[in-house]
Structure 1
Amino acid sequence: MIRIISSIFVVLGLAACSGSGQKGNTLPAGVSSSLLVEQPSDWSGSYASNSEVQAFIDRMESVHEYDRHQLEQAFSYIKQRPKVIEKSNNQPEVITPYYEYKKRFVNESRIKAGVNFTKRNESWLKKAELEFGVDQNVIVALLGVETYYGRITGSKDVFTSLTTLAFDYPRRKTYFQSELEAYLLLVRENGWNIGETKGSYSGAMGMTQFMPSNYRTLAIDYDQDGKVDLWGSNADAIGSIANYLKHHGWQTGQPWGVIASVTEPEKVKEYINRGRSPSQKITAWSSLGVLPLQSPSEEKSGLIALRTEEDIVSYWLAYENFFTIMDYNPSRRYAMSVLELAESI
């Protein structure tokens, strides 16, 4: 569908320009929507015919002075992408046991590629570690888990994915409508074309897989070339991840957690894998039969349990830095995979 729109732009004879994250023909920033062809006369079946979408357009026009004609045209060319909903309901971070999940990321190929990425970008990683206080191996591991160090950044147009989730995925529609809003503002701010930005099925973009709101507020032009480019600039990706983690509370030089033993799992069942922040100090855990097997911190921690083999559950007392990784992706399997990959690198 995006190819159709791009072809229409070409027929109109509008000049093409390059832009970060854009594939195919792109319009120069500031091209008036009056130059675009009219939307299809029959909107039936497209998102432009959806009353919620029309209300969303009303808001974009009144709050952000967005060009209504441009939005109606963009929504008139797209329909629901069912695969997006299917994938959102079957995320491996939720349904796959840890011992299987981590094999996708903590393996010889990603470790080797991570070491090579570190060598190639040593100066930027050292700079980010010094300026933001974030362990450079964690920065690299996040890039490794998210996109295989930039190799796999997603091939679906972000606009259709976000629109599908914003209006046909009730469980999180409020969140995705806000991300769709952020995406459209990002498009305008960067002179991109609606619908040509490629990303994941959930609308995440670039090497860092930032959602649009994070791209707008936390992505940085670390190489100072005048633009934020999370697809083509390793420096921008490194600096943006460091900025993100610092913003969400990364504690410089602090451990992420310690291995623990649990004498009576049933006794602490209500505490296992609960919440998104540390909950109790070591004295409280000890009274519940949760004992660290390494030197513990006096800071608060949360109790993490993951199935490390088919018939074995392992426990950790996790500190703030573990939960900061969860701010990137709210899955304990994800956070542990990132940290294990970081340690391996």
Structure 2
Amino acid sequence: MALQKVKVIPMVNLGPAMTVTEGNSLQIPVSLSGHLADASMSVNYSITGTAIETEDYVSAGTAVMIEGSDMAAMIDIDIVADAVAESDETLTITLIPESLTGAGPGSTMEQTITISEQDLPPKVSMHASQASVMPITTVAKDSGMVDVVASASDPNTGSSFTYTWGGAYNTLPGVIDNGNTLSFDPSTMDSGVISVPFGGQRWVNTTMASILLNIVTSMPTLSADNDSDGDGVDDLTEGLGDDDMDGVPNYLDSITSSNVIPTASSVAQSEAGTSLSLGAIALGNGDHDVSVSEADVAVIDTADVGFDYIELSDFVISGGTAWTLLMVTILSTPQANRDIP
């Protein structure tokens, strides 16, 4: 029997639009949907817009190199602090399709960056760890203290940020507030999903964020003999962590792209540069996909008895300010309508 070698060509994309202030240094990812089949690839790009090069920004060049083992390369751009009062300015990065020798053009080949002199709110990212496993989205009652860390990224240069934990965080058992780290003991808590809120402040801007954690009785024991997600890496090596923070543990997650997440029958996909994760209901179900049933939703809300839903989805999308979502849904034609021409 002859063997046939198949090369899978990945897609290349930029991220969603963003707004920055003067004086910032940016690294704009040029990302791949999968690994290159060849050793490396150069990606050419152009920069246009109302912003003027050298006066408003400085770019490192007109091309980046993606190595075969990497999933992205960075376009370096420095935004000039010119101390001149101006209205918003834009620069648009456009990838040049003709330069792609080992990948295809994706859906987001342009990214617009707005340079603003307004006071912009900080952005906060959150992650949790337990028993030296980080990051995680599922924690066990018998595995010790859970540490939740908030990290602030302030687009305004030369400013300070105050870390404050919001909501009823002080009702968590054994809680310890240590600035940007909140620790608690899950051993006496009920199983299920909790939301840990955060509300940091810088001057008049308050930034709200939260993280969903699924509390279970204990973690499974992983084996080097199993490969539960079929990605060629054994469960023990991949571990219980959740590197892309999508609610699916590494040993069950064969999808490397943060903007793609499984449904019960297929996948859901958002724009490159955004992230999809399981919503609270989907995370608590333990099925490791975004699909939920009417009965699942009815537990926390009133059932909509007027309609039957083939498949419901519960997910969180983050990154960017506006989103496009693609979901593959399997539909069947009712018997009564099959003979209609």
Establish whether TM, by shorter chain, passes 0.5: no
Using CA pairs under 8 Å that are at least 6 residues apart, name the structure with larger relative contact order, 1 or 2.
1
Q: What TM-score comes out, normalization by structure 1 length?
A: 0.20
TM-score calculated relative to the size of structure 2: 0.20
Structure number with the higher helix fraction is 1
Larger proportion of strand = 2
